Structure 1
């Protein structure tokens, strides 16, 4: 199967540089990388252009005008451009261990989506990573909130992944993988979410309502989160109401999602991809 790696970003080219360098070191490269840019300035565009000149797989810059925090729309535009059968979604502040993509592909299974973890770095370790380009390990000083998330242990990961989770709790779109056809079936991310959270949990809840099962990827798909100040949570109360409505009504499709990006969908090449037509 083909895999598209989608990386969200907004005006932090130093972090994005570290992320793309970690992609280049992957033991299994994705078939394409799409940068879901929520309105960054020219510095980010210049960085991407530099990487495009030397990237071994297509590196696509999906940009939208900066009209505030609209990560749901940004992700949808990237999904609409994606040509991979399988999508791995990360944030532009996640530095990847070299087997990250390979681990996600091993965990992929029809009828499932996969949620991963991230090891959090202190500000000091993050600064060091940005300056040197190194990828931390489970032994690095400056990891906090659960060092075990930085441990890669293939056998143990297989045992944990066998237990399925039926809720959207602890879902983070900074490390999430799903079949493109399933994202199309639920109409992608709900663009009614503007401002921080919890658009990722609502997306996962609708996948569950569709009938999918969730795999929790532990001790594999290791990624390291660069430290930054927390995002503004002024919209959280409003967004939580959208999430609660989704759960109460067991929604599968959102009214406004990928259908807003229909003109950007690649031409369907198979019967399964006919869902890219996104009829209501």
Structure 2
């Protein structure tokens, strides 16, 4: 492995029972100007339609696709991501959700700002219900027409390499949990060093922020992708937030205690 740049990169795509969105997300991976070395589908218990979709994508792909699945037992995103992290053979992991469509420079933008002892996080551009419907009405690989976007979306999707480099260590510098789990990337060794995601966090919310805090507590610094790694988020109804209060208590404990290791993480044991 090079000292500051990874030799291999995986893109980890989380999904649950929305194969139509997943297919369009993966097609946007196929269109990258820097292809990943592998695609890992982290499947939180989807049914047969998603399996069939992934089999079809695997036949089309020039990139190895691994389907990591567990049974449907509620919202267990942290656990399935841990399994996907374990399954990856890459030095570096870029993480998205299966309802995200990527700008063609998304992976190369992440890699342009990778450094040793850093993780990266970006944001996403909301696509409204009407525009999302247009995407689903067209075949996978349909190109987004930014001219149809509202002004706020166009501005959020602006890309500039010089501005991205300038903003990387400045934007939201003092807000460690200002991030989106649908657009993050890490050295795999750093994820292993903090034992991955905390699987005590179940249901929607806080799993990404809690992981980020443990990485920071471990000495891994955050860089923000602004004006780079543009990701478009397809419209859907909000997830249930029934367990958010409990998840936020776990997050607060990590913040207050300086925790670096997830007891219930990739390894199911205390840190030695």
Q: Return the TM-score normalized by structure 1.
A: 0.90
Q: For structure 2, which runs of at least 5 residues remain unmatched after alignment?
A: 1-6
Aligned to 1:246: 254
Supply the distance in 2 between the matched residues of 1:189 and 1:24 (Cα, whole angstroms). Answer: 27
**Count of aligned residue pairs for this structure pair:** 263
Aligned to 1:190: 198
**Contact 1:37/1:74 (8 A) holds in 2:** yes
**Contact 1:116/1:176 (8 A) holds in 2:** yes
Supply the distance in 2 between the matched residues of 1:156 and 1:62 (Cα, whole angstroms). Answer: 37
**Contact 2:124/2:180 (8 A) holds in 1:** no
Aligned to 1:161: 168
- Equivalences for 1:55-70 in 2 at 5 Å? 55-70=61-76
2:166 is aligned with 1:150:
no
After the TM superposition, list the runs of 4 or more consecutive aligned residues in structure 1 that deviate by more than 6 angstroms: none
2:237 is aligned with 1:258:
no
Q: For residue 139 of structure 1, give the secondary structure of its aligned residue in structure 2.
A: helix
**Contact 1:166/1:213 (8 A) holds in 2:** no
Supply the distance in 2 between the matched residues of 1:16 and 1:243 (Cα, whole angstroms). Answer: 29
Change (3 A) 1:100 1:137: farther
Q: For structure 1, which runs of at least 5 residues remain unmatched after alignment?
A: 263-277
Supply the distance in 2 between the matched residues of 1:138 and 1:90 (Cα, whole angstroms). Answer: 21
Aligned to 1:228: 236
User: Over the residues paired in the alignment, what is the CA RMSD in angstroms?
Assistant: 1.7
Change (3 A) 1:230 1:89: same
Tell me the alpha carbon deviations over residues 152-191 of structure 1, each in whole angstroms, 9 at most, x when there is no partner: 1111111111427254232111000010000000000000
Q: Return the TM-score normalized by structure 2.
A: 0.92
Deviation at 1:212, TM superposition (A): 1.2
1:106 to 108, 112, 126: 112
Tell me the alpha carbon deviations over residues 129-163 of structure 1, each in whole angstroms, 9 at most, x when there is no partner: 1222424254332575x543211111111111142
2:9 is aligned with 1:31:
no
